[in-house]
Amino acid sequence: MNAVHGRYLHIDLSSGTARAYPLSEDVFARLIGGTGLASYLLYRFCPPGADPLGPENPLVFASSPFIGTGITTASKIAVAAKSPQTGMIGDSLSSSYLALALKRTSYDALVITGQAPGWTVLAVDDGEIRLLPGSDLLGLDPAATAGAVRAELGSGFRVAAIGVAGERGVRYASISNDGRLAGRTGTGAVMGSKRLKALAVRGTQRLPAVADPRGVVRAARELAARSLGPGTAKYRELGTAANLAFFSRLGVLPTRNFQAGTFEAAEAISGERLFLEHRTDKHGCAACTIGCEHHYRTRDAGEAVEVRLEYESLFALGSLCGVSDPNAVLRAAALCDRYGMDAISTGSTIAWAMECVERGVRLPGRPEEWPRFGDAEGLLRTIEAIGERRGLGDLLAEGSRRAAEITGQGSEAWAMHVKGLELPGYDPRKLKAMALGFAVSTRGACHNRSSAYEVDFSDQLDPQAEALAWARAAASSEDRAAVLDSLTVCKFLRHCFSDFFAEAADLFERVTGLPMSADELRLAGERINTVKKLFNIRQGWTRGDDTLPSRLLSGEAGGLTAAELDRLIQAYYRVRGWDEQGQVPPERLRDLGLADLLADGRMMREYA
Amino acid sequence: MSTGTATVRVELFGVPQLLTGRRQVEVPGRTLREVAGALAREFPALAGSVVDPATGWINGGYLFVVDGRFTRDPSCPVGPESSVLLVSAQAGGAS
Ligand code: SF4
């Protein structure tokens, strides 16, 4: 096959050794690459019951056949590890030149296991590895770390780095590269647990040829042209921050820790207002023609801060915490980037603490330092405390689920997570498809692994449609997301296809030379989601993990009830061909072509 | 504003709001198609990027929310009591 190298590099930080292994064509034909490849390698390397912050948890970086082909937005690297937040699959995508550098090393993926004896920078230089001392980088933010590493190793290296949060094991620490983040599920904490401050990659090898160079160039040009059409207009013009005011108007804007769906001060932090009063300019990720990354600057008396801001950071650090000062929200987002922490989990865990204070629950630290809803200073102070794991911040660094378990006093009732991952900015009480998507997602509450909100925000389904129709819509949205993540094509490109599966299959065929139909590609999406599910099952997933926080299931104001959610989940399991307990029957694995690929679950390390 | 047709209040979000400088406008219309046409006529800044002048209908990147229901049905009836929002069609994140 074309466009891949057919091998990956396993690096053991404990021994400081590396070894190459083959990757069969079958893996790409069935799981595509990107997230599919990363999930597969994670499944093969991570033993059941592995401590997410222990040496045996593999940290996987995977590329895809599309990287380096000129297809717009397709320069994303897939990152996977067992998540220290959920204990299940933690997978993220990050746009960056690192993806291109990795592909030029002549490997399709890196699997990093073990733990370095001291803080380390791992340099992968065309397949040669070097472990360099990293302790002098401790305390630096990710951007400064990347700058220091490149200054030492040369600008040809591309760097993924963690900030102080990753060093100190904040469970939702992120990995940063080129200013973009592998943000959710705490892969930065996994990297920190390996004492890996930075990964630097330089690739100078030729990119593997595509099967149909002219066809790929033609298709890439067409897609680039379409990427500038109406399908991406909102992202280009205003960015995702435009969601906020509209969501509040619809009553689906999570506010004060999901105690309300409308924020009375939404206008003050709306995307429209930010655009008029704070926006400075717009950037794009590596190899992207769309450019949705809007930057904003504070306009208050304090030291000016400029930061990239998306809707998810805006809601989590704004309405969710009841904060209506746009300057404070921008400062909070910049702090999250500086410490290297996922803004959704940061904001949501702080919102949990704010509700604790509101309800008179005792927290560690001095009461005058506890954050309160609407308290902008308290928000900023608490983010710093989390990043440094200081005082109350040490508790909140555990994430809302663990913080609530430790605190008790009934506070579990307002820890707003699914499987340990805090909810993004969609109040699922009024969004039925998204509610189901959150509940069953292998990653925990996530709007990126399931974009089922698209069904809610459209006229595709009658609100009274039967459970099976919602389940089909949710499953198909997951499968499309899995294909996009595995092709490493940006989700913001999805509306630029008139028939996504048919056009993407055609492109895959032109790139790889492997025959692929629309139906086969759709099946590949289901297969990838099944690998993730199998990983979770092996790590201890049970039926009870597929649920939503009880606050969201009261049925108040026409919202969802627990019984309704249960019906939706059962319908979803039926659509997937799983049993009533959500287990995957062996015949389903055979039908999906996974039984042989995953063998009997033996660990890859046994072959080493 | 034309007479003889009921006036519909339309709340604008995102780009339509920025282009008109208004969060809410009132235009005549009995269906969404008539509302879209009236929006383009009365707020020329919307013609082109939001309402296609050739069809008189909203571009693919936009949709209406009428009384809480999302729709791109031009024949959807509206009246003075309707809650009508004009919004961008895409939501969501990238990674
Ligand atoms: S559309 Fe936005 S998130 Fe997607 S690749 Fe381009 S700049 Fe990055």
Q: Is residue A336 one of the residues assigned to a domain? A: yes
pLDDT over 60 (residue B2):
no
Distance from the Cα of B51 to chain A's closest Cα (Å) equals: 11
Give the count of domains, chain A: 3
Longest dimension (CA), chain B: 50
Q: Which residue range forms the structural domain that includes residue B13? A: 7-91
Q: Which residue has the tokens 């590493």?
A: A149
First to last CA, chain A: 25
- Categorize the per-residue pLDDT at B90 as very low, low, confident or very high, splitting at 50, 70 and 90: low
Q: Is residue A222 one of the residues assigned to a domain? A: no
Q: Is residue A54 one of the residues assigned to a domain? A: yes
Atom number in ligand 1 closest to CA A73: 5
Residue type, A258: F
Sign of dihedral through CA atoms A421, A427, A429, A433? negative
**A76 with B49: Cβ contact below 8 A:** no
As given in the structure block, the two tokens for residue B53 are 């002048």
**A459 with B14: Cβ contact below 8 A:** no
Q: Residue with the nearest Cα to atom 3 of ligand 1?
A: B94
A497 touches B at CB < 8 Å: no
Q: Which residues of A touch B17 (CB under 8 A)?
A: 272
Q: Residue A475: which of A595, A344, A597, A582 has the closest Cα?
A: A582
The pTM of the whole model exceeds 0.90: yes
Q: Which residue has the tokens 């911040």?
A: A393
**A238 with B18: Cβ contact below 8 A:** yes
Contact A101, A202 (CB under 8 A): yes
Residue type, B23: R
Domain boundary among A154, A187, A202: A202
Residue A152: what pLDDT?
A: 97
Q: Are strands A109-113 and A7-12 parallel, antiparallel or unpaired?
A: parallel
Residues A143 and A131: their CA atoms lie apart, in Å, by 20
The answer, yes or no, to whether any atom of ligand 1 lies below 6 A from the CB of A292, is yes
Residues B39 and A72: their CA atoms lie apart, in Å, by 34
The answer, yes or no, to whether any atom of ligand 1 lies below 6 A from the CB of B94, is yes
Q: Which residues of A touch B95 (CB under 8 A)?
A: 76, 92-95, 180-184, 448, 491
**B92 with A458: Cβ contact below 8 A:** no
**A238 with B60: Cβ contact below 8 A:** no
Distance from the Cα of A92 to chain B's closest Cα (Å) equals: 7
A491 touches B at CB < 8 Å: yes
Q: Is residue A120 one of the residues assigned to a domain? A: yes
A448 touches B at CB < 8 Å: yes
Q: Is residue B60 one of the residues assigned to a domain? A: yes
A87 backbone φψ class: left, alpha, beta (φ>0; ψ -120 to 50): left
Residues A67 and A208: their CA atoms lie apart, in Å, by 10
Q: Is residue B1 one of the residues assigned to a domain? A: no
Q: Is residue A214 one of the residues assigned to a domain? A: no
What is the ipTM for the molecules in this complex? 0.93
Q: How far is CA A451 from the centre of its chain?
A: 13
For residue A544, CA distances in Å to A88, A416, A581 come to 14, 16, 9
Cα of A352 from ligand 1 centre, angstroms: 31
First to last CA, chain B: 45
Contacts of A395 (CB under 8 A, 6+ apart): A363, A364, A403, A406, A407
Residue A605: what pLDDT?
A: 44
**What CATH code is carried by the domain that includes residue A298?**
1.10.569.10
**B95 with A292: Cβ contact below 8 A:** no
B51, B58, B90, best to mutate vs chain A, most A CBs in 10 Å: B90
Q: Are residues A481 and A332 in the same domain?
A: no
**What CATH code is carried by the domain that includes residue A103?**
3.60.9.10
As given in the structure block, the two tokens for residue A393 are 């911040």
As given in the structure block, the two tokens for residue A63 are 């590329």
The answer, yes or no, to whether any atom of ligand 1 lies below 6 A from the CB of A293, is yes
Q: Is residue B76 one of the residues assigned to a domain? A: yes
Q: Is residue A207 one of the residues assigned to a domain? A: no
Q: Which residue range forms the structural domain that includes residue A107? A: 7-202
Q: Is residue A2 one of the residues assigned to a domain? A: no
DSSP code string of A27-56: HHHHH-SHHHHHHHHHHHH--TT--TTSTT
A536 backbone φψ class: left, alpha, beta (φ>0; ψ -120 to 50): alpha
Distance from the Cα of B4 to chain A's closest Cα (Å) equals: 30
Q: Are residues A465 and A404 in the same domain?
A: no
The answer, yes or no, to whether any atom of ligand 1 lies below 6 A from the CB of A73, is yes
Q: Residue A171: which of A74, A57, A264 has the closest Cα?
A: A57
Q: Which residues of B touch A492 (CB under 8 A)?
A: 90, 94
Q: Residue A56: which of A158, A228, A193, A182 has the closest Cα?
A: A193
- Categorize the per-residue pLDDT at B91 as very low, low, confident or very high, splitting at 50, 70 and 90: low
Q: Are residues A530 and A560 in the same domain?
A: yes
Q: Are residues A157 and A257 in the same domain?
A: no
Q: Is residue B2 one of the residues assigned to a domain? A: no
The answer, yes or no, to whether any atom of ligand 1 lies below 6 A from the CB of A288, is yes
Between these two residues, A326 and B60, which has the higher pLDDT value?
A326
Domain boundary among A383, A405, A422: A422
**What CATH code is carried by the domain that includes residue B49?**
3.10.20.30
**What CATH code is carried by the domain that includes residue A489?**
1.10.599.10
Low pLDDT (below 70) residues in chain A: 600-608
Q: Are residues A404 and A450 in the same domain?
A: no
**B88 with A448: Cβ contact below 8 A:** no
Give the count of domains, chain B: 1
Q: Are residues A359 and A248 in the same domain?
A: yes
Q: Are residues A144 and A273 in the same domain?
A: no
A349 touches B at CB < 8 Å: no
**A238 with B88: Cβ contact below 8 A:** yes
Q: Are residues A492 and A577 in the same domain?
A: yes
Q: Are residues A413 and A562 in the same domain?
A: no
